[in-house]
Amino acid sequence: MFIISNQSIMAQNQTNIKGNPLIEEWQTPFQTPPFSKINNKDYKPAIEYAIKEAAKEVLAIANNKEEPSFENTIVALERSGQLLHKITSLFFNLNEANTNDTMQELAVEISPLLTKHSNDIYLNPKLFSRVKNVYENSDNVQMTTEEQMLLRQTYKAFVANGAMIDEKHKDEFRNVSKELSILTLRFNQNVLADNNTYSLVIKDKKDLDGLPQYAVEAASELAKNRKTKGWIFTLDAPSYIPFITYADNRELREQIWRAYNSKGNHNDTNDNKETVIKIVNLRLRLAQLLGYENYAAYNLDNTMAKTQQNVNEFLDDLLLSALPFAKRDLKQVSDYAKSKGFNENIERWDFSYWSEKLKNEKYAINPELIKPYFRLGNVIRGIFALADTLYGLEFRENKNIDKYHNDVSVYEVWDKKQNKFMAVLYMDFFPRESKRGGAWMTNFREQYRQNEGSDVRPLIQMVCNFTKPTSKSPSLLTFEEVNTMLHEFGHCLHGILSECTYSSISGTNVYHDFVELPSQLMENFSTERAFLDMFAEHYNTQEKIPQDLIDKLVAADQYMAGWLFIRQLFFGLIDMNWHSITEPYAGSVEAMEAKASQRAELLPIIEGCMMTTQFGHIFGGGYAAGYYGYKWAEVLDADAFSLFKEKGVFNKSVSTSFRENILSKGGSKDPMLLYKAFRGHTPSKDALLRRCRFIK
């Protein structure tokens, strides 16, 4: 047997990391990642090295002979593992936005290592003893509000991650959390694979009838890129949505709808049904090991809603308010379709088609009319101008900062009044096979203050899947895409304007049912004339968007509000049902979804199609037992924006108050206290119901 000495292993480890760009200090503008120097082979050795370094730091805290204190225990823990956090933030963000087969394989290898490292921290009895000592004696120490929040969140994190589990169950907790880390990755990989596998190839030009020209051009260009004759439509949003909304060919609409709504449910290697059942059962076991009845009770413990009962009552209350309006919307569309000679029942692949025709007839509004005023470059300029007007921010493109893909644009963000650098913003807009669907904001680095007080500013990533430019036209956005961009930019502002001491509670590190407030508030500006005047001009004629078109956008703003409202509640009900089980589930995934969603179902269920097997928010992301938060935050944002409307949408005192009380504070204070400091009262759902025109 060949035996390698410990010295040889150590030397080998040093060789693996020597010259590794992930380990070195980045001599780049604002210490931004040197993407072009990083290879896939660099990640695993760098992460293994960084885990060892972080473990040494944590061990030193646990073995500290000094009396436990906020500084030598809580702050020391907060500052530990910075190298590891830097590398993993980079890796996992790129695995979402610009992945490849090797990265996906690495993610499966790396995730268990990180889970073990996390468990080694939270399940260390000596370390928890120190944290608990500081927590239980905090009344005797003078602390700032932010310090109190960090202490409380640190203690709760230890408890939530098994610190109080008896010794005989700690190994089980480790195994459960390790398996969950792999399964959630696999879930997302399966959805992405299914999304990329499907394409609808059209050979007959008649099958394009009804489609807007921009969609036809994009499909033609994609076919050329793939060296295929005809036109190709995919399940990426900029391709799928126009087809399901405008294509006259009902059979093809049904085909692409079924493909889109059956992702992860084809009984093949990408099937997610077994993965879903494993995830929910492991989450249940994890919660029960921690003393909770179910996963919902466990996860809601650290939210504004607090309890499962509060969430269920909230969803039920909104369902009761919205259901009559959703039924009215469906009847309107059905009656309209019949009036046009459609004598069959409305199916799921019909609703968008006929509702869009009715919308165009009622408001004389369609994407071909609107999109020319929403050139991507102009929308970016408009959103930057809005951030300047509200918060005094300037965005300077920096083409010398390295980026991870040619589609990405990079900006420095500056506070003009203070002449202060605030952040680097990476903006990545177009679909590709290496990027998952949807839109999101995240960080390569969060804002915090170093020990000596210097302010480390964030590196923020905004990722979308918008309409690509073609050889005949630039990227022209739909009105819905403009709203999506405003939404994600609101999250970016939450990160950019953060002014916290500790990274774990800065920026968007807030309660899940509070994090959507800044993003959803920004969507309210989309129909404001004062905002549209900043940028909305025809890309050919430079004519400003006419007032009558704005009036139509405003009139149509809450079109089908009941239907869309119920759709969000539908997702929330599915989420809560999966995470409210108190016994392991062994039944049908389809049956569980049908049972959960039946109160919000207005059309027949289609066999083989469901949301669960592609519901990345809850099975591959951080919204498990938390999807209700989108509606919860809508209550907040409707109430908050009513103050902007009352005082003037660009009122400086209102925007300054929102910045100081909400955006800059991150999670440094209880969110209800932050909200009341801005608004002066607790939120009421009435503002949301009025905005949706459910009440006057």
**Annotated active-site positions, please?**
488
Element housing 502 (H / E): none
CB-CB neighbours of 116 under 10 Å: 15
Contact indicator for 116, 186 with CB cutoff of 8 Å: no
Measured distance CA(229)–CA(220) in Å, rounded: 8
Q: Rounded distance, CA 144 to CA 149, Å?
A: 9
The whole-angstrom separation of Cα 188 and Cα 34 is 27
Contact of 614 with 272, CB cutoff 8 Å: yes
CB-count exposure of residue 192 (10 Å: 0-12, 13-18, 19+)? buried
Give long-range contacts, CB 8 A cutoff, 24+ apart: 429-432.
Answer: 429/376, 429/464, 429/465, 429/466, 429/475, 430/465, 430/466, 430/468, 430/475, 431/234, 431/236, 431/237, 431/238, 431/239, 431/465, 431/466, 431/468, 432/98, 432/405, 432/407
Secondary structure class of 410 (helix, strand, coil): strand
Task: Report d(CA 681, CA 515) in Å as an integer.
Answer: 19
| CA distance linking residue 173 with residue 286, whole number of Å | 7
Q: What is the DSSP secondary structure assignment for residue 34, as one 8-state letter?
A: -
- State the pairing for strand pair 459-463/420-428: parallel
Residue 241: both structure tokens together: 């949505």
Tokens of 345: 């029942």
List the one residue out of 143, 115, 123, 124 whose CA is nearest residue 61: 124
For residues 220 and 208, the answer to whether their CB atoms sit within 8 Å is no
- Residue 623: name the closest of 198, 210, 300 by CA: 300
List the one residue out of 555, 539, 561 whose CA is nearest residue 370.
Answer: 539
**Cβ atoms < 10 Å from Cβ of 41:** 12
The residue type of 653 is S
Which residue type occupies 49? Y
Report helix, strand or coil for 442: strand
Block residue for tokens 């005989």: 168
CA 153-155-159 angle, to 5 degrees, is 110
Strand-pair category, 409-415 with 393-397 = antiparallel
Q: How far apart are CA 691 and CA 696, in angstroms?
A: 9
Would you state the structure tokens that stand for residue 521, as one six-digit string?
Answer: 């508030």
The secondary element (H helix, E strand) that includes residue 202 is strand 200-202
Residue 326 tokens read as 């959703």
- Reading the block at residue 509, the tokens are 């590190």
**How far from each other are the two terminal CA atoms of the chain, in whole angstroms?**
82
Q: How far apart are CA 213 and CA 223, in angstroms?
A: 15
What does the buried/exposed string (b/e) look like for 637-660 if buried means 16 or more CB atoms within 10 Å of the residue's CB? bbbbbbbbeeeebeeeebbebbbe
Residue 634, Cβ neighbours under 10 Å: how many? 23
Other beta carbons within 10 angstroms of residue 161's beta carbon come to 19
* 460 three-state secondary structure: strand
Residue type, 244: I
Of 459, 401, 463, 445, the closest CA to residue 96 belongs to 463
The burial class, CB within 10 Å (0-12 / 13-18 / 19+), for 142 is exposed
